Chain A
């Protein structure tokens, strides 16, 4: 595997389900991100982890719970979601460096909440 991978690619869940999204980066980066991409809205940054510590949490509802067990893996745990949470969830990684925050993106997980 190369780059940034995400599983599953598609997920349909009910509002009472609990599921997790997984992201893995194979680039040796030390920062990882979760974004939400909804139709007709700009990309929304949800969480940032640097060296496995959360450094950004952009007022995301508690029904979204991130986990970063090591610098290569990032999870997004989902529970009691709402239909408006249906979106494409993108993971990205970058190498923390003074003059760059170029990010590399995974293909995304298309989430549908019924």
Chain B
């Protein structure tokens, strides 16, 4: 069965420090992979996506993610975190040729000054 695991419920980093949010997935075929961000009281906004090709994908707000098929991972990174990055981050796997998207439980990011 398809599934997405985000092992960290919450993470705290200092402003200016680097960030890595972990995501592992289980999917039978080549997955469509997404990272979304949700600020309090808001809907989800797409940060980046991977469908095929280069395994390192760039997104908005200075985020990037790397697809590693051997590890079934799609970790999100940012070299220098800003206080405005504090939010909840969701990794997701999209169904190939279908409509179903499976979301992870989310990782809440706290940024300290």
Contact = CB atoms under 8 A, between A and B. Distances in A.
A112 to B, nearest CB: 14
A28 B102 CA distance: 24
B28 interface: no
B105 A48 contact: no
B99 A102 contact: no
B100 A45 contact: yes
Given A98-B97, A100-B51, A42 B43 contact: no
A60 to B, nearest CB: 14
A105 B44 CA distance: 6
Q: How large is the interface on A (under 10, 10 to 19, 20 to 34, 35 or more residues)?
A: 20 to 34
Contacts of A55: 99
Contact of B99 (A33, A105, A108): A33
Interface residues of B, number: 26
A104 interface: yes
Contacts of B44: 43, 90, 92, 103, 105
B103 A43 contact: yes
A100 B105 CA distance: 22
Contacts of B100: 45, 48, 56, 101
A42 B103 contact: yes
Nearest to B45: A105
10 contacts: A42-B104, A43-B103, A45-B101, A50-B99, A92-B44, A102-B34, A103-B46, A104-B46, A108-B42, A110-B41
